[in-house]
């Protein structure tokens, strides 16, 4: 079984997007393909077992074959690193990974292996991406965030660690390049990487849609409470609006997909937002994603009654408005099994902007 | 015998509750709004239970429950909330109460005050 290791220069560079695209491309080319996240840091409970959330994504949304424990053999719980430093036991990490890969190997020609963080992440527990890729005898693709100078600098640094562990680096994929700078960045980064002896496998334009969270994302990420509209939690948030001004001023900032962050006792702005939402039927395009009521305030029950009659999700938080808005803005949403549109988009942009044939050839696939 | 604070803006319902509760030997203090109920608590305190209609003029019953729980001397005192048949609540409270409504019991569409008195006595362990 050929193994393609998807690494990155930093967190949130786009490993999952690339893994999704490569996984689907391999299937389309007729290879029996599996997915594995050997070391996971963000996990969920599946029964009694901790499994990485990316493994759950592949299992649920792409129906990846194999037991979940094979797709996510090792997760790092809180406090593990400190324990490991005083009692190092590499076998406790590598044995389950190698067992999982053996289980998957029996029925698959290619494995898409997703790393975690930059090349050095995991070094403290003897399981950096470079060390794990070496153990798996994988070829490596490195994903970097958009840019020229910083991006190439980081790629060289990461490449050096992979090479130190004798992992063949197929090349780099530059992700999240702004459309308006795409031509310029693409030309420069391709030449810059060639100058450094690295292959540029693709330059992917920034797709804002991939960064839009849903109301469910923020509900789950911040353990909020649903006041009403729980059936509309898949509404996508396109922008975040703090409704701290008077309604007549606030209304101008409402756009389709707005999450209105508003103190729970500002009935005026709450009702103005709902009114704007209802206007959609009268040829106005505003349809808000939802409301986040802050300060631990719940509106008067007569207002709650009105909110319940509108198909808008309303969440509650104890945080003040500024803190709540900051937290939501800082959220980098991971692709989840429910994000069917994002998964399709990830597949499309990888097949159209990345030289997947080159990656498969370098991995030894015909 | 228990000392009850009853909060409701409806005179007929209040009269009926007071009559039935007195018959059972309870002493009832009446407030016609949440604000008046807060004053009663501040001035008198010492209630064994609070019974309140959810829809009140001004501050609503849910807000009053939060105030009782967070800021009053009655934090641990049972709170029985209800709505009459004339009140249409679109939010479903019959399958458990949300955090923002910290009450011990909720009765919806209450058409006779016997129900409230019976529930109150159950809560108080009579």
Residue A237 or A366, more confident: A237
The domains of chain A, with CATH numbers, are: 2-211+335-362 (3.40.50.300), 215-330 (3.40.1390.20)
| Residue A232, SS3 per DSSP | helix
Distances from the Cα of A208 to the Cα of A177, A213, A333, angstroms = 11, 11, 12
Give yes or no for a contact between A112 and A34, defined as CB atoms under 8 angstroms apart: yes
Least reliable range by pLDDT among A126-140, A146-160, A267-281, B34-48: A267-281
User: Would the CB atoms of A228 and B98 count as touching at under 8 Å?
Assistant: no
pLDDT tens-digit series, residues B41-74: 999 888 999 999 999 988 999 999 999 998 888 8
Chain B residues within 8 Å of chain A (Cβ atoms): 54-55, 59-63, 66, 88-91, 98-100
Question: For residue A155, what are the contacts with CB-CB under 8 A and spacing of at least 6?
Answer: A9, A142, A144, A172, A193, A196, A198
Give yes or no for a contact between A3 and A106, defined as CB atoms under 8 angstroms apart: no
- B contacts of A305 (beta carbons < 8 Å): 88-91
pLDDT tens-digit series, residues B69-93: 988 888 999 999 999 999 888 888 8
Percentage of residues in chain A having pLDDT higher than 90: 76
Looking up residue B16, the CATH number of its domain turns out to be 3.40.50.2300
Q: pLDDT band for position A280 (50/70/90)?
A: low
How many structural domains is chain B composed of?
Answer: 1
Q: Pick from A300, A308, A316: which is nearest to B91 by CB?
A: A308
CB count, 10 Å around CB of A316?
22
Question: pLDDT value at position A366?
Answer: 72
Q: pLDDT band for position A120 (50/70/90)?
A: very high
Burial of B102 (0-12, 13-18, 19+ CB in 10 A): middle
Q: Which residue of B has its CA nearest to A310?
A: B90
For residues A239-254, give the mean pLDDT: 90
Whether complex ipTM tops 0.90:
no
Percentage of residues in chain B having pLDDT higher than 90: 79
Residue A210 or B119, more confident: B119
């Amino acid at each position: 079984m050929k193994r393609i290791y998807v690494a990155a220069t930093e967190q949130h560079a786009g490993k999952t997007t690339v893994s999704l695209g490569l996984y689907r491309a391999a299937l389309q080319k007729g290879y029996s393909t599996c997915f594995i996240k050997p070391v996971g840091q963000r996990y969920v409970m599946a029964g009694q077992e901790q499994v990485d959330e990316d493994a759950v994504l592949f299992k649920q949304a792409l129906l990846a074959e194999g037991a979940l424990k094979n797709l996510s053999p090792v997760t790092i719980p809180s406090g593990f690193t400190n324990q490991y430093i005083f009692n190092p036991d590499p076998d406790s990490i590598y044995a389950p990974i190698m067992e999982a890969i053996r289980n998957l190997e029996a029925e698959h020609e290619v494995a898409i292996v997703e790393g975690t963080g930059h090349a050095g992440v995991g070094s403290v527990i003897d399981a950096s991406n470079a060390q794990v890729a070496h153990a798996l005898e994988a070829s490596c693709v490195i994903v970097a965030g958009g840019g020229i100078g910083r991006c190439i600098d980081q790629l060289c640094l990461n490449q050096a660690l992979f090479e130190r562990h004798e992992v063949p680096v197929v090349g780099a994929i530059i992700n999240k390049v702004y459309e308006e700078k795409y031509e310029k960045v693409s030309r420069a980064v391709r030449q810059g990487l060639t100058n450094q002896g690295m292959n540029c496998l693709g330059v992917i334009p920034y797709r804002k849609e991939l960064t839009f969270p849903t109301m469910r994302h923020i509900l789950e990420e911040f353990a909020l409470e649903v006041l009403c509209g729980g059936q509309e939690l898949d509404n996508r948030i396109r922008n975040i609006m703090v409704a701290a001004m008077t309604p007549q001023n606030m209304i101008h900032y409402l756009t389709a997909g707005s999450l209105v962050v508003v103190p729970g006792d500002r009935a005026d702005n709450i009702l103005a937002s709902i009114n704007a939402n209802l206007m959609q039927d009268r040829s106005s395009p505003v349809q808000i994603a939802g409301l986040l009521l802050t300060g631990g305030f719940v509106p008067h029950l007569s207002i709650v009654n009105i909110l319940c009659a509108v198909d808008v999700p309303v969440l509650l938080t104890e945080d003040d408005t500024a803190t709540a808005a900051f937290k939501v803005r800082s959220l980098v949403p991971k692709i989840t099994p429910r994000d069917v549109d994002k998964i399709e988009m990830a597949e499309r942009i990888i097949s159209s902007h990345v030289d997947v044939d080159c990656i498969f050839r370098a991995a030894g696939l015909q | 015998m228990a000392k009850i604070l009853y909060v409701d803006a409806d005179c007929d319902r209040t009269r009926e509750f007071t009559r039935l509760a007195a018959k059972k030997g309870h002493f009832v203090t009446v407030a016609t709004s949440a604000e008046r109920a807060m004053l009663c608590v501040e001035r008198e305190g010492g209630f064994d239970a609070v019974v309140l209609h959810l829809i009140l003029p001004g501050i609503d019953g849910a807000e009053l429950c939060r105030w009782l729980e967070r800021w009053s001397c009655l934090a641990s005192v049972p709170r029985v909330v209800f709505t009459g048949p004339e009140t249409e609540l679109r939010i479903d409270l019959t399958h458990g109460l949300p955090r923002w409504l910290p009450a011990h019991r909720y009765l919806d569409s209450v058409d006779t005050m016997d129900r409230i008195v019976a529930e109150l006595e159950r809560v108080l362990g009579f």
